[in-house]
Amino acid sequence: MSNKDSAAAPVAKEVSKEVASGKDGKAKTESKVRRTSKANKAGVSLLPRRVARRLKPILSGKQMSDAALIFMTAGIERIFKEVFDGAETSLRQDNRTRLQPKDIQHSLRNNAELSEVFTGTIPRADHMPGQYY
């Protein structure tokens, strides 16, 4: 597939703006090019630089390429989507509108893949100190 065939996301948009008239009395136009970030091209909602800043203590001086950072951000966003979709279904079943921590725990426990990933990291709801339902 050549570059001419793919029209999924425009690389840059040209914006023109009229400037005050010059010496010859004609209005001049000045064009600026708006750049599209790599994250916008990838369709990522989370900000990759913010994720990188949060990972900085974990990486301890190692660098990541922009592509790897966007890929990791997309993975984190996908996990968030899975968790909150499960929590939303639990809210709708109980006819409630406010999301609570127990709903997130419920969605993690009911999803087989997520429960394997988060085993041992999140305590059970009946053992959480200071939480009264």
pTM above 0.85, yes or no: no
User: Measuring CA to CA, how many Å separate 117 from each of 9, 111, 120, 121, 127?
Assistant: 34, 10, 9, 9, 20
Q: Which of 24-38, 42-56, 80-94, 103-117 has the least mean pLDDT?
A: 24-38
The domains of the chain are located at 37-127
pLDDT band for position 7 (50/70/90)?
Answer: very low
Polymer length of the chain: 133
Residue 18 pLDDT > 80, yes or no? no
Q: What is the pLDDT of residues 75-109, one digit of tens each?
A: 999 999 999 999 999 899 889 999 988 888 888 88
> Where in the chain does DSSP place strands (E)?
12-19, 28-35
| Backbone torsions φ then ψ of 28, nearest 5 degrees | -95, 150
Task: Tell me how far apart the alpha carbons of residues 31 and 93 are, in angstroms, rounded to a whole number.
Answer: 54
Residue pair 37/47 in contact (Cβ under 8 Å)? The answer is no
Domain 37-127 superfamily per CATH? Histone, subunit A (1.10.20.10)
Residue 97 Cα to chain centre, angstroms: 23
